[in-house]
């Protein structure tokens, strides 16, 4: 098994494309021309002994379009038949891979770079997150509403209760009745002093010292 250990920087002008290259890669070249300036030219070309491309036709074309003078290359010492197999297989084997959609979405959303990901044309949509609407509802029960008639404001989210409610709340009877208030009020007045705001008329109860 051949293992390449040496990378050489070669002038783009001495590298030759394979005359029977079976891949049509014009669209890939267009996209890589936008990607390489961002991530760098970091994958060497593979050449045979005559500087003919085994793997890397697209990157070679990108280097020419970007005006690069030299690019990294490695030489294959395999025989001609093995090189032909390597050239074809390199273009084909990637088609057997599939995407882990969940992991891909997580990875895409974790990248904080100024880059248009539409260039890569991932066949994935970022799902909309349905957040419950927070609304303010007025409690019309006069037994617990302030005398100003403003009503008590409470937060309500559909299907997302702020706290567990007693079973009695689901019935037609109010959870706090006027009778409950009358029973509690005398003791409250003993322990608290009532203060009324001059501007808004709201009532407040302050614990006595």
Q: Which of 86, 119, 152 is the last residue of a domain?
A: 119
Q: pLDDT band at residue 177, thresholds of 50, 70 and 90?
A: low
**Of 36 and 155, which is predicted with more confidence?**
36
- Given a cut of 50, whether residue 179 has pLDDT beyond it is yes
Q: What are phi and psi of 118, to 5 degrees?
A: -65, -25
**CB-based contacts of 120, cutoff 8 Å, min separation 6:** 31, 35
* Model pLDDT, residue 134: 44
- Given a cut of 80, whether residue 10 has pLDDT beyond it is yes
The answer to whether 158 and 133 are in contact (CB under 8 A) is: yes
Q: Which of 119, 148, 181 is the last residue of a domain?
A: 119
Please tell me the total count of domains within the chain: 2
2 found inside a domain: no
* Model pLDDT, residue 126: 52
Go through 33-59 and write b for each residue having 16 or more CB atoms within 10 A of its CB, e for each that does not.
eeebeeeebeebbbbbeeeebbbbbbb
The answer to whether 154 and 139 are in contact (CB under 8 A) is: yes
Q: pLDDT band at residue 157, thresholds of 50, 70 and 90?
A: very low
> How far apart are alpha carbons 54 and 15 in whole angstroms?
11
Same domain, 115 and 140: no
pLDDT tens digits, 66-84: 999 999 999 999 999 999 9
- Quick one: DSSP state of residue 37? H
The mean predicted confidence, pLDDT, of the chain is 75
> How far apart are alpha carbons 106 and 85 in whole angstroms?
36
What CATH number corresponds to the domain at position 95? 3.90.1530.10
Q: Taking the model in full, what pTM does it have?
A: 0.56
Q: Average of pLDDT values for 40-66?
A: 95
- Strand pairing category for 70-75 and 45-47: parallel
């Amino acid at each position: 098994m051949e293992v390449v250990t040496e990378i050489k920087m070669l002038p783009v002008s001495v590298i030759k494309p394979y005359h029977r290259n079976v891949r049509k890669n014009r669209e890939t070249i267009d996209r890589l021309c936008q990607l390489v300036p961002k991530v760098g030219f970091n994958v060497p070309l593979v050449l045979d002994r005559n500087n003919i491309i085994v793997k890397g036709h697209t990157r070679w074309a990108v280097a020419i379009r970007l005006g690069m003078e030299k690019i990294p290359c490695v030489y294959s010492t395999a025989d001609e038949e093995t090189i032909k197999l390597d050239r074809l297989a390199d273009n084909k084997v990637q088609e057997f891979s599939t995407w882990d959609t969940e992991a891909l979405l997580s990875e895409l959303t974790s990248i904080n770079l100024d880059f248009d990901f539409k260039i890569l044309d991932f066949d994935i949509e970022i799902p909309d997150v349905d957040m419950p609407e927070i609304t303010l509802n007025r409690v019309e029960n006069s037994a617990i509403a302030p005398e100003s008639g403003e009503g008590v404001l409470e937060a309500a989210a559909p299907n997302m209760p702020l706290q567990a409610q007693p079973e009695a709340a689901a019935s037609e009877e109010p959870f706090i009745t006027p009778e409950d208030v009358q029973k509690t009020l005398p003791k409250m007045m003993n322990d608290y002093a009532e203060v009324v705001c001059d501007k808004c008329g709201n009532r407040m109860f302050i614990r006595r010292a």
